[in-house]
Structure 1
Amino acid sequence: MTTHHSWSIPTTVVVILNLILAFDCIHNVSASYVVSVEPSSKQCFRFRTPQGSATQWTISGSFEVLHDDVDSEELSVRVSNIDTGDTLYEKPSGTLEGDFELYGLKGNKHYQICFQSNVDGSNHNEAFDVGFNLRFHYPPRTLDDKESGPDGERASKLVEKAAKIHQDWDTLQDHFDFLRNREAIHEEMNDAIVSRLTKWTYVEAFLVVGMATGQVMYWKKFFEKRRYL
């Protein structure tokens, strides 16, 4: 007589497997940019959430002004829903950098982030650069009814905490990128200053040599005339 053995996967193993799958879903699609905002102008970037009307997406972002001589009131930042016109995020006053998270966004919807300069348009030398980043976060995988329970709840909480830590880490990396961009701007400005100083040093040296040569020639001719006399 043949005996068939049936076996079942322990609940703990199921929870661990789901936790691993959930961690695998915590990667994101990101895009990092640097935009130059002219006085009295507005730069807007449109983006769309991925397909799937039933899926609730999370979008996180960060921004930072890359120039040091910009007043906090000179920049306005706004994230809005293009389809409805609703404002989802607006930069608080008194700051030149910020982070935001938008939850529960439906798929296949259009949004935009706008950077506006409040500087007078007559001052054409007051353009400044803004670095910003956008990320689409996949929704964490939910547990089935048969997988629910104390272990499942603990696994879900761990996944949520891991996702939050991952988002915070991405935000920290964004600000490090902004810092590198700012250093690049400072280096470019320093190179321009050094190049200008070097050019004027050469011009000054040429003028000094020319004036010295002229004086030598003048006195040479002067003494030659006196000798002839």
Structure 2
Amino acid sequence: MLGSPSLVTKWMLVLLACLFQWTQGYTVKLRTYQSDCYNENIKAEGYYSVSYEVANNENIDFMVTGPDGRAVHSILTQGSGFYDFPNNKNPGRYLYCFMNPANSPTEKTVHFHVHGFDPDDLLPIEEKASPLEKEVIHLAQSVERILDHQDYMIVREGEHRNTAESTNSRVKWWSAIQILLVCGVCAWQIWYLKSFFEVKRVV
């Protein structure tokens, strides 16, 4: 029954798990040759990810550096990206940077979101939870992670749709220009050949 204490407790745990999920959105402008870096303290058993999108289908470089100072992930010259931090394998402080490539002289606007879940927030609740209730909490975290990936795929689909529509528009206008050019050349050839057969009178 819905009113049973165990079921109510489970629903409360699910709601609390969803409330402890956090998402932060930022917007930065990268001037020519500029880089902008941020750091995240990645904890074991937590969940952290970052997704970004560059305005106007521009491209940037994205790089993640691990706690040991080595690059663990890089995306070069792309307009969007998504990265899950490997918290269970190597917790610690990670650095991620957005860089305007050296071959790009224009300023670029980057929108990025940081998604995370801190296990310490739910530690007092999990200590009193049964194994089934802990699984419910982990399931809520997995659902949130899937939603993050879905949001990223929606952004990518929008970019691809805009690119396809832009390409279709350019092909349409180029085809129209080609038709006009062919018609103009044909008209000029007809006029030029017709001038050979004109009878010119000498007065």
TM-score of the alignment, normalized to the shorter chain, above 0.5: yes
Match of 1:158 in 2: 132
Q: What SS does the aligned partner of 2:198 have?
A: helix
Aligned-residue RMSD, C-alpha: 4.7
Q: What SS does the aligned partner of 2:83 have?
A: strand
Match of 1:50 in 2: none
Please state if 1:63 is matched with 2:50. Answer: yes
> Contact between 2:14 and 2:140, CA under 8 Å: does it hold in 1?
no
Tell me which of 127, 148, 151 is aligned to 1:174. 148
Change (3 A) 1:77 1:132: farther
Which amino acid counterpart does residue 23 of structure 2 have in structure 1?
A: S
> Contact between 1:31 and 1:133, CA under 8 Å: does it hold in 2?
yes
Tell me which of 24, 32, 41 is aligned to 2:34. 41
Tell me which of 11, 15, 30 is aligned to 2:23. 30
Which amino acid counterpart does residue 75 of structure 1 have in structure 2?
A: F
Taking every aligned residue pair, what percent have the same amino acid on both sides? 18
Which amino acid counterpart does residue 122 of structure 1 have in structure 2?
A: N
**What is the aligned residue count?**
178
Which amino acid counterpart does residue 14 of structure 2 have in structure 1?
A: F
Q: Using the TM superposition, give the Cα deviation of residue 179 of structure 1 relative to its aligned residue in structure 2, in angstroms.
A: 1.6
Which amino acid counterpart does residue 134 of structure 1 have in structure 2?
A: H
What is the distance in 1 between the residues matched to 2:63 and 2:155?
20
Tell me which of 99, 103, 106 is aligned to 2:84. 99
Please state if 1:21 is matched with 2:12. Answer: yes
Structure 1 residues 69-114: Cα deviation after superposition (integer angstroms, max 9, x where no partner):
x99xx521369xxxxxxx6x987236764323879xxxxxxx9974
Q: Using the TM superposition, give the Cα deviation of residue 195 of structure 1 relative to its aligned residue in structure 2, in angstroms.
A: 1.8
Which amino acid counterpart does residue 175 of structure 1 have in structure 2?
A: H
Bigger Rg, structure 1 or 2: 1
Structure 2 gap segments, 5+ residues each:
76-80
> Contact between 1:62 and 1:98, CA under 8 Å: does it hold in 2?
yes
Structure 1 gap segments, 5+ residues each:
1-12, 48-57, 80-86, 104-110, 144-151
What is the distance in 2 between the residues matched to 1:142 and 1:176?
30
Change (3 A) 1:91 1:64: farther
Q: Using the TM superposition, give the Cα deviation of residue 209 of structure 1 relative to its aligned residue in structure 2, in angstroms.
A: 0.8
